Amino acid sequence: MLKIDRNLKHSVSLILVMNLTMLLGANFEQDIEKVFSFEKNNNAFASEKLHNSRESEEEAQRLQFLKDEQAKEQALKEEQKKARLSAYFSQLQQALQKEKNAHEEKLAIAYIDKATGQVIEVNGESQFFAASTIKIPIAMRIADLIEEKKISWATEIVETEEDYEEGTGVIAGDGREKYTIEELVRDSIVYSDNIAKNMLIRQITPSYKETVKNIYQRYLPNNVTSGENSFSALQLAKILDNLSSERDRNASYEKIYQYMKQTIYHERLETSETKGKVAHKIGSNGSYFHDIGIFEGNYPYVLVVMTDEMPNATDVISEISNIVWRLQEKEYPRE
C-alpha cells in the first residue's frame, strides 16, 4: 500500500475545498467557516470541561482529606478526654476510699457524675435504715401520680389519727384538719414533716411497706425489698439521678427539687462552700445520720453519704461534701 505524505493529503484537502467553494459559491464558504468554527469551539468547551472536572475531583479529594484529618483530630481529643476523665475518677475514688478508711464506723458514699453517668461508690451497696431520706422518693411517686392526672397539687387530704408521728415537722398541733398535696409535699421536704409524709403515703398505697415496694418497683426494678425503709447509698443516688435528669421535662419533679433547695436544715452536705449550690434532704434516726443531694456546680453531680453509729457524723458528711466539691470544681477535666 502506498504511503501518502501527510502534507500532501492536507494540500489535496485544501484544493478540494477551494474547488468546491468556487463551484458552490460564497454561502458554502461561510458554511465551511462555521463548521470549522463550531468544531474549534466544541474542542475548547470539551477541554475546559475536562479541566473543570479535574479541578472538581481535586477539590473533592482535598475536602475529603480535610474531613478525614478533622475526624482523626476529634477522635484523638476524645481519647485524651477519656484518659483525663479516667484519671480524675480514679483520684476521686481514692479520696473517698481514704475517708472510708479513716472511720471504723459504718460509712457509705455514692457519687454519680451528671455529664458522663460515671458512678463511684465506697460501700455503696450496704443497706441502711434510710430515715427521712425516703421522703424524696415518696414525693416523687406523688409527682408521678400528678403527671398521670390521678391527683393534683390542689387535692385536699384530711389528717387522721393514724397519720400522727412524733419528730420533726410543723403540722402537729397547728389545728388544721386538711391540707393540699402541695402543702404536704412542701412540708415533708422543707421541714421534714413526718405527719405530712404519712398522709402522702396513703395516696400511693394503703400501707407504709406497700409504698416502699412501690418505690422499688418504680425506680429500682431490679432490686428486691421486704418493704422496710432500707436503702443503700447507691440506690438513693440512682433515685436522685432520676429526679435530676427528669426535672427539666417534668414540672412536678422540678417543684420537688426546688423544695429541696428551700430546706431549713443547712448542714451536712450543705457547707459554707456548697451553700446555694446543693438541693438536699437529710435523714436522722437514732444512730443513723444521712444526707442526699444534687449539686449544681460547673460539673453537676449527685452525692449520697450514709452513716451509722458514727461520732460527729454531721461533720464527717460535711467534710466529704467539701472534698468532692473541691475536686469537682478544680480538678474535673475541662474541654
Is residue 6 included in any domain, yes or no? no
Question: What are residue 295's DSSP bridge partners?
Answer: 278, 301
* Strands of the sheet with 301-308, listed across from one edge: 119-122, 106-113, 301-308, 288-295, 278-285
For the chain, how far is it from start to end, CA to CA, in angstroms?
A: 81
Q: What pLDDT is attached to residue 294?
A: 98
- At 124-148, the pLDDT tens digits run 999 999 999 999 999 999 999 999 9
All 3 cell numbers of residue 319?
467534710
- Beta strands per DSSP E along 102-232: 106-113, 119-122, 127-129, 156-158, 178-180, 230-232
Cβ-Cβ contacts under 8 Å for 235 (sequence gap 6 or more)? 220, 223
- At 160-209, the pLDDT tens digits run 999 999 999 999 989 999 999 999 999 999 999 999 999 999 999 999 99
Instruction: Determine the structural domain holding residue 309 and report its residue range.
Output: 105-330
pLDDT: which is higher, 16 or 332: 332
Instruction: For residue 103, name the pLDDT band (cuts at 50, 70, 90).
Output: confident
Q: Is the pLDDT of residue 100 over 50?
A: yes
Q: Is the pLDDT of residue 34 over 80?
A: no
Average pLDDT over the chain reads 88
Instruction: For residue 28, name the pLDDT band (cuts at 50, 70, 90).
Output: low
- At 282-308, the pLDDT tens digits run 999 999 999 999 999 999 999 999 999
> Exposed (0-12), middle (13-18) or buried (19+): which is 303, by Cβ within 10 Å?
buried
Instruction: For residue 65, name the pLDDT band (cuts at 50, 70, 90).
Output: confident
Residues of the chain above pLDDT 90, percent: 73
CATH number at residue 300: 3.40.710.10
Q: Is the pLDDT of residue 85 over 90?
A: yes
Q: What pLDDT is attached to residue 17?
A: 47
Sign of the C-alpha dihedral computed for residues 160, 165, 193 and 200 taken in this order: negative
Q: What pLDDT is attached to residue 4?
A: 47
CA–CA dist 256, 259 (Å, integer): 5
Question: What are residue 178's DSSP bridge partners?
Answer: 158
Look at residues 134, 131, 130, 188 and name the one whose alpha carbon lies nearest to residue 157.
Answer: 188
The domain tally of the chain equals 1
Cβ-Cβ contacts under 8 Å for 163 (sequence gap 6 or more)? 195, 198, 199, 202
Q: What pLDDT is attached to residue 279?
A: 98
Is residue 140 included in any domain, yes or no? yes
- At 212-258, the pLDDT tens digits run 999 999 999 999 999 999 999 999 999 999 999 999 999 999 999 99
> Exposed (0-12), middle (13-18) or buried (19+): which is 35, by Cβ within 10 Å?
exposed
Is residue 228 included in any domain, yes or no? yes
Is residue 9 included in any domain, yes or no? no
